[in-house]
Structures are given as C-alpha cells and as structure tokens.
A = this chain, B = another copy of it.
C-alpha cells in the first residue's frame, strides 16, 4: 500500500516473510499529523477507523489534530502509561469496539506511546480474530522501538508483556513533531532504546549520539528526524531477519532482562527506558565479570546515558533475590533459567553456538545485582 500523503516524507519498508502482504511501510516526517486521517481514509478505503489513545495525547491536542473535527470511535486510556497496560484495559477496549458495532472491516489506529501501541496492537489482533492496525507513535520510545516489529502485549500482575501476540502493523506513521510536547522525563527515558540500538548494531550511530547529545536534548527537528531514521533502519533490519523472535531478534533485548524485572518490581514507577538504561549497565557488568570486556564500552555507555539525563543506578529498593525470582519469568528463560544478551564490542552482540541470548552463571548475576543495590 502506498502512502498517499503528498509530503516529501522518508519511507522504509519492513518486509517480513510471515506477512502475506510482504511487508509494511514506515513513514517518517514532521508536522503531517493533521493531514494523516484523510490519507488513511484513502489508503484503507471502506474500513471503519477506531482510535486508541491516552489522556496525555488528548491533553497535548494531538487527538484533535488527528481527528480534525471528524467523527470516529475513540478509546482514551486513562491513566496513561504502563499501569494501564493490563488485561482489564484490553477487555474494556474490546467491549468499547463491540458497542460501536464494529466488524472485521475495522482499522485500529494507535495514537500514542509504547503502552498505547502495545495494547492497541493486541486489541487489533484479537478483535473478531484480527483486524489491521496502524501505529502513530508519538514518543521517543515508541518511535525508536515499539511501533516496529509487531510485538503486542499487556503486563501480568507479576511480569512485563507476559501476555500478547505478534501482530504486524499495516503501516507506521512517525511524526517527529509530536515529540515536542512530550514530558521531559519520558522524552529522555525513550532515548535509552536509541543507545541500545547503537550499542548492539552500529558503533557509528553511537558516536553520532555522543556528538549530538546536546541537540538531542534541545529536540532539534533535523536531529530528531535523523534519529528516527537510524532507529528504524536498525530495528527493521533485525526484525526482518527474525520476525517471530526465534533467535537473532533477541539481540533487541539487550539490557531488557534485568530491565524488565526492575520495571515490574517498581510497580512501573520506573519508566521502561529508565529500567533499560540500568539494565544495560547491569549487562555490561556481567560482561566484565565474565571477562568479556577489553575496551571502554561500559564507560562510554554510562557516560552517554548520564549526559542524556538517564540514571545508571537503581534508585529504589530492589532486593537481588526478588529480581532473581522475576528473571525466571523472563520470556527468554529456558527451564526457568534466565538468558542474557551480551555485547561482543560496541556495535555488535556476542553470539555463541548460534545463540544470541546466553546463560550466565547465577552467582555472577547475583553479584551484579547485589552491586546494583549497593550503589543506591
């Protein structure tokens, strides 16, 4: 499907063999949100749109900008954020769609950040056994990461993204202008996923992030567009190789094994990006303990995180034993033993015997976790 927007926008195509359609476009640009609804109407002619968004998007005026006065079914997640990413919210959204008498000819439109995208993708996947979804990510984290790749899900009472499916979007539209209204803490937290992409896949991109840190913090439009394109390129290339995360795609979980556990333990007061930042430091220390580090990558990651205003220490109470318990629930675990993605060097991931997520002796994990708690 072509993007009918007339702007001079950058378009990537994410092709995955799992998709009968062959792939989906990711369109990146600035300031097109107000013209997007008409474009979608053309692109998905005959489908009934249903928007899933959250209160912060409404307050920032983005929902009105998108709707442009037109009538459409809308569900507003409230409160915004991870606390609402539950089976209860999913159920409530699905029932709202039913009460609009929607059918298989629905188009779900996810307007928002990671929570909105994850839950809207899940809702689209299970409504009438599956309807298409278009993602309009509006945060640093969702533009960098969650809107591409087809992962959907909600949290259980114990662990993050415990329930969900793979459901690839029909299209992704990233308007980097929406980042201008994002709250500072969220804005910075989302940059952690860009650092992750650079760390696992592209040392040159890492150097660019180091060089442009100040402009990033100023939300310079040109820098934001370049950032979105780089993230998209890296994420798409990994996803295309392994759409259902059988193996190689696990590299995207760098920093996420311990990150997810911290996030869940904090009751989601720690934002995903904040948790991943600490998780990357923990992974780096595991690499050191295992004698895998012969360069200054941990120091450079730590310095970049700090420069971008991300904490590298767990400022809270996270008993190592509780973290270890949660690690068993991690989706990469095999036989209840957690696995970790580790770097080979800045820009590439360590692969052993064809595996991209590796078992680490429990005493090393515990040692690193104790230090994580010690340094509070």
Contacts and interface: CB of A to CB of B under 8 A. Distances in A.
Interface of A: 46, 87-88, 90-91, 94-95, 98-99, 101, 103-105, 122, 125-130, 151, 153, 156-159, 161-166, 245, 328-331, 333-336
A156 B101 contact: no
Binding site secondary structure of chain A: loop
A347 B99 CA distance: 37
20 contacts: A46-B335, A87-B91, A91-B91, A94-B163, A95-B156, A95-B157, A98-B156, A98-B158, A99-B158, A101-B329, A103-B329, A103-B334, A103-B336, A104-B333, A104-B334, A105-B335, A125-B165, A126-B164, A127-B162, A129-B161
B130 A166 contact: yes
Nearest to A103: B333
A167 to B, nearest CB: 9
Contacts of A125: 165
A129 B328 contact: no
A129 B95 contact: no
Contact of A129 (B101, B103, B156, B164): B164
Contact of A105 (B128, B330, B334): B334
Contacts of A333: 103-104
B128 A331 contact: yes
